[in-house]
Amino acid sequence: MLQQRLGLSLPTLKTLGGWSPIDEDTLEAWYQNAVGITLNGSDVSQWEDSSTNSYDMVQATATEQPAYSAGVLTFVPTDKNNLQTAGQISLAADFTIGIKITPSIAVAGTFLGDNTSAGELFKYANATTISIKIGGGATNVSVDSGSFGDDYLVITRVSDVLTLWQNGVAQSGTPTLAGTSLVDVIGIRKTDVNGFSGTIKEIQIYTTSTADLTANINDRLSTL
C-alpha cells in the first residue's frame, strides 16, 4: 500500500519565541504530535523520533499498526497495536517522561514498555493507578482524587523518587524505585502482551528531571 509522510523531517525546528523539547540537551526521545508520521493508508507504520537520537518507532506488520487521525494515534489491544524501536532507550538515573494520553477503559494496559526485556513497563493498572516496573522491581503512582481521563501526564524520577503529575498538578504519592528503565516500544510489553487501549498524541523522554523542565513539558502538553 502506498505510504505517505506527515510532518517535518529531523531536526524539528525550534519553536520561535518559546520553549521546545529540542532545546534540552537531555532530550532522549520525542514522539512529536502530528510530526514524523508515516502512514500506511490510515494507520501508522512509523513515528519518527524528533530528537537527534533516532529512536524511531516502527511497525511493519500492518495488522498491528495503530490508527491515525489529526495527530491522534489509537491503540487497540486485541489487535496488538504497537510501535517499536530497534534501538534501546535506557534511563539509568533521573528521568522525566511526558505524555498526552487518553485511556479508553479503566485497565487500559501498557503505554510504554520494553518488548525485548521482561519487567519493564508503564501501564494503567486501574482507573486511578499507573503501575511502573523497572528492572523487575515494581511500584505504583496514583492520582489523589478522581480518575485518569483525557490527561497530560508527567512522571519524574529524582534520586529514585517517583512523582506523577496529572494535568500540571503533582500528586502526593512519591514511591521509590531504583534501576535502569528500559523502553523500546509504545503500546505493549514483553512479549506482545498487556496492550494499551486508548489514544496518544505525544511522548517526550528525558535523562534528567528539574522543576523548570517539568513546568515546560506541562505547558506544552496542555496545549495539545
Q: Does the predicted TM-score (pTM) go above 0.85? A: yes
Instruction: Select the more confidently predicted residue: 11 or 170.
Output: 170
At 37, give phi and psi (nearest 5°): -90, 130
| Bond prior to 11 in cis (omega within 30° of 0) | yes
Residue with cell 526521545: 29
Positive or negative: CA dihedral 174, 157, 56, 10: positive
Round to whole Å and give the CA distance between 38 and 45.
6
Pairing of strands 83-91, 95-103: unpaired
* 4-8, 68-72, 132-136: segment of lowest average pLDDT: 4-8
Q: Are 203 and 30 in contact (CB under 8 A)?
A: yes
pLDDT at residue 178, rounded to an integer: 98
For 152, how many CA atoms within 13 A lie in the half-sphere containing its CB?
Answer: 20
The mean per-residue pLDDT over the stretch 80-96 comes to: 98
pLDDT tens, position by position, 32-53: 999 999 999 999 999 999 999 9
pLDDT per position as a tens digit, 186-212 = 999 999 999 999 999 999 999 999 999
What mean pLDDT do residues 71-78 have?
98
Residue, of 157 and 15, whose pLDDT is higher: 157
For the four alpha carbons of 149, 29, 220 and 24, in that order, the dihedral sign comes to positive
